[in-house]
Amino acid sequence: MRLLTLAVAAGLFVAGGLPAAAATPAAGLLSTNPDDVTPHVLDGQVNAVVDLGSRVIVGGTFTQVKKWSSPAILPRLGIFAYSKATGDIDPTFRPDLGTVRAMVAAPDGRGVVVGGIFSTVAGARRGGLVEIDALTGAPVTGFAATTDGRVNTLALVGDRLFVGGLFGHVSGVDRSNLAAVDGRSGALDPTVDVPVAVPTRDVAQVWRMAASPDGRRLVIVGNFQMVGGQSRSQVAVLDIASTPALPTAWQTRWFDYGGCSTRVDFYVKDVSVDPAGRYFVVAAVGSWGTGTAGTCDSVTRWELGSEAPAQDPTWREYSGGDSYWAVAATTAAVYVAGHIRWANNALAGRGDVAGPGAVDRVGIAALDPQSGLPLSWNIQRERGIQVGTLTVTPGGMYIGSDSSMLGNEWHPRLAFLPFDATAAPAQAVATTLPTTLTVFRADGTRLVRPFDGTLIGPQQLLRDDGTGWAQVRGVVRAANRTFRVRQDGRFEVSTDGRSWTAWPMWSDGTGRFTDLTGAAYLDGKLYYTVAGSGTLLARGFSPDSGLLGGLTYEVSGPGVDLTGAHGLASAGGSLYVVDRTNTLDRITLSSATGLARATALTRVSGPWIDWVNWSAAVGLQAG
């Protein structure tokens, strides 16, 4: 993924009067109506886009382009520039580089740094890395960096330009597949010497990378098993604020080679850091392989604040056997694209089928950042084989690929979706303290008590309203509607809190989401307990689409036994449960290794604490 605002964080690009892009992307969802004036790329693939405000530069493996409204075909070898307002292709901008893999706006206010597979530019040796003038396309002579191989990915952090690819030297100095140079002069940065080595198969290389907004962390993905002398399989997090730059302690076994198809030499294809710098998301290919026991054909979220070995993903999203090639994390959604047909397809069995809970998301999807489940947003994209880039700008997102259709419109290999200021996904309403705790009773009545996290107030009785509260085990409140979770695993929805209708968007198909004794939503997951089990379980849930994840997470850690629990609620960022002794307990959740796990129970209220007996609870709600 290319996030334009990362590349220009230290200073906005201005060249020859070109307006610079704003620093922060919009917070809403993308429109599902593509821009009409993007040029048509007639062959190859688009891999990189730089939006300079009124002017856009596009790179890839193509040889022919044309204006959207003109039949005239123009030869362009791997790069061209056009007017964002009209779609006019600049007739004089002809660097003709060859294969372009990556681009960023240069910090010198003059040009664009281009990485790819080319050896000479305008007769001068460049070795896969060159800065060109953004208006003329001529090489900028003041930028002197070169490699002895190919460049796959670039990231500009302040004035430091990080370069990743397949090479052994940068400007004649040993650098194994990763380096940093001065973004203005190209001079090699001696503080970044982190060899990336030992391929899973074929040759080691850095394929993509993304920097955190504060410039302290760099996430790299590609074909490697060692980074800076440390064991890191296909994904590594570097501390680039230290001198010298070093791998952090972050490490995971989820991308160890061998669980996916060995027809691909590596299967992690893209990475994106969210705008707030809290997490990063990885997109992978690899066929179905070991299914949900691995990360083949998946999208996974990882916490940047969790820097320790043996990390687990916060969530995992599976297509069911189709490749994810690109990812872009925005404030409202995580956009993913590739050769996909479905999302939420963890229960696909052998793969290449729509399993229970799967929804159609052809070629592209928007995921809930908290749960990883698909949002309601849906625009079909011709699947093709690969997606070269999802480039987020303040105005929207460019999609570069090898296919031609988007939203039933003809946009060959290049499309732009603007942000829609009126569109935002429905969010869950977080319950803060102080609040109320409502006990659902077997006779349909409810008991409501004030609660501040420690003290319980006097109860108020709510009579049976005839809507079936005796069967309710949990409640999820969103801005526009409220969901009830029943004992049998079915969902009901209401917009007024008085009339409830069955919610048809989920079918478990396994018989494992039933006999619930409690359910509560917190941070993207629906936590729940099941009769006869002492394990706290969780599945992703999206208040926007109303989808429940097919993947089940076991959350209970050692010593946390919820056998006999009846009632579960979330308030103030914590879970509360009524245990088998009819005591209200607070559940401590730890995210030290990514996925939240229950580590302890703390008694809050009960017959021997404050004389409150919770034995009547068959369900619980906070707020």
Residue ranges covered by each domain of the chain: 2-10+25-417, 435-622
Amino acid making up residue 422: T
Q: In the predicted model, is pLDDT for residue 438 greater than 70?
A: yes
Q: Note whether 538 and 525 are within 8 A (CB).
A: yes
pLDDT of res. 260: 86
Residue with tokens 């290794």: 593
pLDDT of res. 505: 64
Reported as a single tens digit per residue, the pLDDT across 221-242 is: 999 999 999 999 999 999 999 9
Reported as a single tens digit per residue, the pLDDT across 207-226 is: 999 999 999 999 999 999 99
- Cα-flanking dihedrals φ and ψ of residue 511, to 5°? 75, 10
Q: Note whether 336 and 271 are within 8 A (CB).
A: no
Strands 597-605 and 584-590 come out as antiparallel
Q: In the predicted model, is pLDDT for residue 10 greater than 70?
A: no
- Cα-flanking dihedrals φ and ψ of residue 291, to 5°? 65, -140
Residue 467: partners with Cβ closer than 8 Å, 6 or more residues away: 498, 499, 500
Reported as a single tens digit per residue, the pLDDT across 124-160 is: 778 899 999 999 999 999 999 999 999 999 999 999 9
pLDDT of res. 349: 80
Q: Which two three-digit tokens encode residue 62? A: 């193509």
Q: In the predicted model, is pLDDT for residue 16 greater than 80?
A: no
Q: In the predicted model, is pLDDT for residue 277 greater than 80?
A: yes
d(CA 100, CA 604): 61
Nearest to 238 by CA among 203, 275, 210: 210
Q: Note whether 426 and 29 are within 8 A (CB).
A: no
Q: Which alpha helices (DSSP H) does 416-515 contain, by range?
A: none
- Cα-flanking dihedrals φ and ψ of residue 259, to 5°? -80, -20
Question: How many residues are listed for the chain in this entry?
Answer: 623
Top-confidence residue, 355 or 402: 402
Question: Distances in Å between the alpha carbon of 334 and those of 51, 300, 453?
Answer: 20, 11, 33
d(CA 5, CA 393): 7
pLDDT of res. 227: 99
pLDDT of res. 19: 34
Q: Which two three-digit tokens encode residue 355? A: 């399993």
292 DSSP 8-state letter: G
d(CA 293, CA 299): 14
Q: In the predicted model, is pLDDT for residue 165 greater than 90?
A: yes
HEC secondary structure over 211-258 = ECCCCCEEEEEEECCEECCEECCCEEEEECCCCCCEECCCCCCCCCCC
Mean pLDDT, range 66-86, rounded to an integer? 98
Q: In the predicted model, is pLDDT for residue 4 greater than 70?
A: no
2-10+25-417: CATH homologous superfamily? YVTN repeat-like/Quinoprotein amine dehydrogenase (2.130.10.10)
Q: In the predicted model, is pLDDT for residue 538 greater than 80?
A: yes
Q: Which two three-digit tokens encode residue 417? A: 């979706």
Percent of the residues in the chain that have a pLDDT greater than 90, as a whole number: 86
Q: What is the mean pLDDT of the chain?
A: 93
Quick count: other Cβ atoms within 10 Å of Cβ 90? 18
pLDDT of res. 8: 32
- Cα-flanking dihedrals φ and ψ of residue 5, to 5°? -65, -25
pLDDT-based confidence at 365, cuts 50/70/90?
Answer: very high
Q: How far is CA 2 from the centre of its chain?
A: 13
pLDDT of res. 24: 57
Q: In the predicted model, is pLDDT for residue 403 greater than 60?
A: yes
Q: Note whether 486 and 516 are within 8 A (CB).
A: yes
Q: Note whether 410 and 59 are within 8 A (CB).
A: no
Q: In the predicted model, is pLDDT for residue 536 greater than 60?
A: yes
Amino acid making up residue 175: R
Mean pLDDT, range 388-416, rounded to an integer? 98
The CATH label, of 2.110.10.10, 3.30.420.40, 3.30.380.10, 3.30.70.520, for the domain at 435-622 is 2.110.10.10
pLDDT of res. 146: 95
What angle (nearest 5°) sits at the alpha carbon of residue 451, between those of residues 519 and 607?
A: 85
Which residues share a beta bridge with 336?
327, 365
Q: In the predicted model, is pLDDT for residue 531 greater than 60?
A: yes
Residue with tokens 């990231």: 155
pLDDT of res. 559: 87
Top-confidence residue, 1 or 476: 476
Q: Note whether 366 and 334 are within 8 A (CB).
A: yes
pLDDT of res. 23: 45
Q: Indicate the range of 15-19, 258-262, 426-430, 434-438 predicted with least confidence.
A: 15-19
Q: Note whether 184 and 142 are within 8 A (CB).
A: yes
Nearest to 523 by CA among 368, 331, 297: 368
Mean pLDDT, range 154-177, rounded to an integer? 98
